């Protein structure tokens, strides 16, 4: 058995973390086992499941430039204590440079930088992140990405075309397949009979653009007052969005669902899925929504690679809210059989059973270097 040291922020219920857990659950763990470097002391939603599956969690010294030497020693100590660790796989975007540099110093022969996004948020760490982004391909031996656009953004077009490998954000397609009984049960539970339900799954942060999402819903409300917006997730901007819903007079029309373990069932209650993100790599939620047979309206900042079905409309964020409301109404009026969704996503190559086997074989062959 070989062990893969995955470097993440922490294992909360979010996009890339959910993707990792999908793969972790479906690989043969007698051949390939995962361990995790986490950079936040906050416990992750998936921590207990990881431990039950035989994974270990190592808390790093943190991603401060002042702690960089300590971080390198931290990675070296992990690797030196277990010669089964053959690969370090970093998912921290630009800051993955820390883990990969530590792995390089420790003599790990296979070091994977994995791109999951197409932009870096301009926060107080932005200058440091941009430096690390430039150095990232030099610390890595292998360049992976969730899709073309993310790979090009992080590694450059030439490097991506020469060395890039796409690892799909695959899902359990049967888990998300449309189920009439579950839809009826969920809609009854939340008193949604006769309502048109617009839905979104994502962390309340700048990237997901909840402010615009709420404005689009207000525009659609004028067309259909019997509509409801469902927001699954939590995050630092949630209180701001709640206040805005009150200000717009739609607070009683918005369900703030929080984190949900049965997200697959929440998709069933929806009629349209919205993702007006400011940027995305290849969002797992977009794949899940299409597997549930949902028509989707994405911003054009979301890569076109995620448009797997013929029920996807991509709109510019420059378009007015009315244009978005019109697209939502069009998709509802021209809805198709939602049971097609699972097949569409499988045929597009996002079936986790198949993709986990591919990833497992990649890890095993790379570990022989």
Q: Are residues 177 and 154 in the same domain?
A: no
Token couple for 100: 């990969």
**Nearest Cα to Cα of residue 355 among 26, 7, 83:** 26
Token couple for 177: 């397949």
- Angstrom distance (rounded) from CA 83 to CA 80: 6
In the DSSP assignment, the letter for residue 43 is: P
Helix (H/G/I), strand (E/B), else coil: 100: helix
- Inter-residue contact 133 to 169 (CB < 8 Å): no
- Confidence label for 34 from pLDDT (cuts 50, 70 and 90): very high
**Nearest Cα to Cα of residue 71 among 36, 101, 50, 41:** 101
Q: Looking at the predicted structure, is the pLDDT value of residue 358 above 90?
A: yes
Number of structural domains the chain divides into: 2
The whole-model pTM stands at: 0.91
Which residue range forms the structural domain that includes residue 179? 173-347
Q: Are residues 159 and 12 in the same domain?
A: yes
Q: Would you list the DSSP string of 301-361? A: TS-GGG--STTEEEE-TTS-HHHHHHHHHHHHHT---GGGHHHHHHHTT-BHHHHHHHHHH
Q: Are residues 162 and 264 in the same domain?
A: no
- Inter-residue contact 99 to 88 (CB < 8 Å): yes
pLDDT in tens, 72-92: 999 999 999 999 999 999 999
Q: Looking at the predicted structure, is the pLDDT value of residue 288 above 90?
A: yes
Q: Are residues 259 and 210 in the same domain?
A: yes
Domain CATH code at residue 276: 3.40.50.2000
Residue 193: what pLDDT? 92
Region of 156 on the Ramachandran plot (φ > 0 left; ψ -120 to 50 alpha; else beta): left
Q: Are residues 190 and 148 in the same domain?
A: no
Q: Are residues 61 and 210 in the same domain?
A: no
- Confidence label for 120 from pLDDT (cuts 50, 70 and 90): confident
pLDDT in tens, 317-343: 999 999 999 999 999 999 899 999 999
Average pLDDT over residues 16-45: 95
- Confidence label for 173 from pLDDT (cuts 50, 70 and 90): very high
In this structure, the number of other CB atoms found within 10 A of the CB of residue 306 comes to 27
Give percent of the chain with pLDDT exceeding 70.
Answer: 100
Q: Are residues 230 and 281 in the same domain?
A: yes
pLDDT in tens, 10-24: 999 888 899 999 999
Residue 5: what pLDDT? 98
């Amino acid at each position: 058995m070989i062990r893969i040291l995955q470097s993440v922020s922490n294992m909360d219920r979010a996009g890339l973390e959910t993707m990792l857990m999908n793969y972790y659950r479906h690989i043969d763990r007698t051949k390939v086992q995962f361990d995790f470097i986490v950079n936040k002391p906050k416990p992750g939603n998936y921590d207990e499941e990881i431990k039950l599956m035989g994974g270990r969690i190592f808390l790093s010294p943190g991603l401060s430039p002042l702690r960089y030497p300590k971080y390198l020693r931290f990675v070296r100590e992990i690797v030196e204590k277990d010669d089964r660790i053959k690969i370090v796989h970093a998912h921290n975007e630009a800051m993955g440079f820390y883990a990969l540099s530590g792995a390089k110093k420790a003599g790990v022969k296979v070091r994977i930088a994995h791109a999951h996004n197409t932009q870096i948020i301009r926060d107080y760490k932005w200058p440091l992140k941009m430096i690390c982004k430039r150095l990232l391909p030099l610390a890595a031996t292998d360049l992976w990405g969730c899709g073309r656009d993310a790979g090009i953004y992080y590694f450059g077009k030439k490097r991506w075309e020469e060395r890039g490998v796409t690892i799909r954000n695959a899902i359990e397609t049967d888990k998300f397949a449309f189920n009439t009984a579950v839809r009826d049960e969920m809609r009854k539970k939340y008193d949604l009979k006769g309502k048109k339900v617009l839905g979104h799954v994502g962390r309340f942060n700048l990237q997901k653009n909840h402010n615009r999402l709420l404005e689009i819903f207000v525009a659609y409300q004028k067309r259909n007052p019997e509509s409801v917006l469902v927001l699954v997730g939590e995050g630092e901007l949630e209180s701001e969005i709640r206040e805005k819903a009150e200000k717009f007079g739609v607070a009683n029309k918005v369900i703030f669902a929080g984190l949900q373990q049965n997200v697959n069932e929440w998709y069933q209650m929806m009629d349209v899925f919205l993702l007006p993100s400011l940027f995305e790599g290849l969002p797992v939620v977009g794949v899940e929504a299409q597997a549930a047979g949902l028509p989707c309206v994405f911003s054009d900042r979301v890569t076109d690679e995620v448009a797997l079905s013929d029920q996807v409309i991509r709109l510019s964020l420059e378009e007015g809210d009315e244009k978005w409301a019109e697209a939502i109404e069009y998709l509802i009026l021209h809805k198709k059989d939602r049971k097609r969704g699972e097949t569409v996503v499988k045929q597009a190559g996002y079936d986790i059973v198949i993709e986990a086997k591919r990833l497992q074989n990649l890890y095993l062959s790379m570990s022989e270097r």
